Amino acid sequence: MIEVKDLSFSYPGAGSPAIENLNFRINKSEIFGFLGPSGAGKSTTQKIITGILKEYQGSVQVNGQEIVGIKNDFFENIGVSFELPNLYNRFTARENLEFFAGLFEKDCEPALELLELVGLAEVADEPVKNFSKGMKMRLNLCRAFLNRPNILFLDEPTSGLDPMNRKNVRRLIMEKKDQGQTVFITTHDMLAADELCDRIAFIVDGQIEIIDSPRELKLRHGKKLVEVGYQNNGELVEGQYNLKGLWGNQEFVELLKSDRIETIHSQEASLEDVFIAVTGRNLR
């Protein structure tokens, strides 16, 4: 679906490239995450793949078509949700979606049905200027879904959302994958990436450090240990036990029998732990 080879891009007057020698491929019905701190090159890469930035070096193909040569029909089949919502504040939510629907040749999703998906149906006829950041982000997502695209580009799709709406947005993205759509996500939200993405790429200072599935990355950088918190004479004590041969560890077995255990956790790495280990950088 998307193939990027030796991609580099520099903004005019910049001292160094925004991105340099990027190589990756995204398959059909895959959720691919681009993870990195602010300024790492995530949004620049998305803007190139969606045809906004043109003066790049290397090759970027979407559905076998080089981005440099795209025509208007290219935009009929992609949906884009920008980190900063691009909406008309004096229009209502419904009017925004109906206006954008008029830009496409193909039939679009009914505005009210999309608003219902993200919990905005009750404010469909309210001016967007009255919306909170989270409401605008959800309306922005509706705009990306509007034209029934086969590829979705989502820049920080869970930014500014409360826990309930983050969960709902993640569910909607998974449903799009199940329907056969390909999803390209740029984010620094490790939890969202861990739950959603089939594969992720870590990008720092415009260069990709590693690409793999979240599971493989966490297994590779985690510890094969179990940490147990238990009561001992009125004090909370923590102990660690090797997963290998765990059921033959008499001390651990006795703890299980004693009914003193309060917490028990395996010691796999988080994606943020992996990011720091791989890049030597923090996400923020």
The pLDDT assigned to 106 comes to 93
The pLDDT assigned to 284 comes to 61
> End-to-end alpha-carbon separation of the chain, Å?
31
Separation between Cα atoms, residue 233 and residue 236, nearest integer Å: 8
The pLDDT assigned to 49 comes to 95
- Whole-prediction pTM: 0.86
The pLDDT assigned to 79 comes to 95
Q: Which two tokens stand for residue 192?
A: 């969202």
The pLDDT assigned to 159 comes to 87
Separation between Cα atoms, residue 96 and residue 89, nearest integer Å: 9
Burial class (CB in 10 A: 0-12, 13-18, 19+), 262: exposed
Provide the residue-wise pLDDT of the chain in tens; the chain has 284 residues.
Answer: 899 999 999 999 888 899 999 999 999 999 999 998 888 899 899 999 999 998 899 999 998 889 988 888 899 999 999 888 889 999 999 999 999 999 999 999 999 999 999 999 999 999 999 999 999 999 999 999 999 999 999 999 988 889 999 999 999 999 999 999 999 999 888 888 999 999 999 999 999 999 999 999 988 888 888 899 989 888 898 989 888 888 888 988 888 888 889 998 888 888 888 988 888 877 66
| Three-state DSSP class for residue 182 | strand
Collect all residues with Cβ–Cβ distance below 8 Å to 279 and sequence separation of at least 6: 202, 204, 209
The pLDDT assigned to 207 comes to 94
| Cα 164 to Cα 119, 134, 167, 180, 220, distances in angstroms | 11, 11, 5, 25, 31
The pLDDT assigned to 275 comes to 87
